[in-house]
Each structure stands twice: as structure tokens, then as C-alpha cells.
Copies of this chain bind each other. A is one copy, B any other.
Amino acid sequence: MARITAANIDKALTVGEVAERSGVAVSALHFYERKGLIHSRRSAGNQRRYHRDVLRRVAVIKVAQRIGIPLAEVAEALASLPEARSPNARDWSRLSARWRQELDERIQRLTQLRDQLSDCIGCGCLSMTACRLRNPGDELSEHGPGARRWEGDLPGGQAD
């Protein structure tokens, strides 16, 4: 369907066209629709027909995935877009800002982890009680005499 001519440039898109242009598989588009991330109308013969806005939505979904946002959260964010009109620059900017913050936090967490890991490289301390990397959440010190014996329980006595 949908010969692309000057006359029908505004025509609704078929699922195949959206797949081709957005670079995601038809099956993924079906999936996104089931999850409420995108929407379609139906043709007389029950085939999906998409407004061109769907291309932006899919692009946004792909960016969000790169950031590491789970689809459920993307769905929420997209649900916050206005229904009455096509989203405008400000609408998209809001999403970008929101996700940039998540991205910032993720980067910060990873950077902190990296710094701790760097300390570990020099000393091989990944395995020791004192290691900053391990200690958060390591309940060792609460549980009897064995818990503090990290340095003593190796044949050869190396403090690894």
C-alpha cells in the first residue's frame, strides 16, 4: 500500500513502513503497542495505521533504551505527553531533561564504583574484609569468630 507520491505524503503509515523507517522490527512494534508505548488506528481490514508521530516516539524509545530506562518507565513518560495535540519541542525537552538526570545518576554511581575498584587493583583487596567495595552489605562482622579471619585462613598466609 501507500505509494509515496506528492498526493499522499500525509498518509498514515503501515507497520512495515514504520519498521523500515524506525529501524525496529515489526514484532517489536507490536510489542510496544501491547505495552502501551505506541498507538495505532486500524484500517477497514484491521491492519495497523500509524500517525507519523509514532516515528518520534519510537526514536525516543530507542534513546531511552540506550540510557537504560526500562520500557515500563518509558511507557509512563510517554503517557505524560499531551493526548490532544502532537507533542512539541517543549514536551520532548521535558523528557530529555528527566532522563538526563537519571543518566547523570547512573554515571555517578558507576564512577564511584570505578574509583573503588581502582583502589582494589593495587592491593587485590577485592577479597578482603577492609575493601570498600565489599563492605557495604557484607554482614561478616556480626557472625562469630570466623568472620574476621580473612587474613588467616589461607595456606601460605598471603593476605589476599
**Which chain A residues have a beta carbon within 8 Å of chain B's beta carbons?**
4, 6, 9-10, 20-23, 52, 56, 59-60, 62-63, 66-67, 85-93, 95-97, 99-100, 103-104, 106-107, 110-111, 113-114, 117-118, 120-127, 133-134, 137-140, 143-147, 149, 153-156, 158-160
Chain B residues, CB < 8 A from A90: 124, 160
With A4-B145, A117-B99, A133-B63 known as contacts, the answer to whether A92 contacts B9 (CB < 8 A) is no
With A117-B103, A145-B9 known as contacts, the answer to whether A95 contacts B126 (CB < 8 A) is yes
Oligomeric state, in copies:
2
A63 engages B110 (CB within 8 Å): no
With A9-B149, A20-B139, A134-B63 known as contacts, the answer to whether A120 contacts B103 (CB < 8 A) is no
A92 → chain B, closest Cβ, in Å?
Answer: 4
A88 engages B158 (CB within 8 Å): yes
Return the chain B residue nearest A110 by Cβ: B107
A97 engages B121 (CB within 8 Å): yes
Chain B residues, CB < 8 A from A67: 110, 113, 117
A103 engages B110 (CB within 8 Å): yes
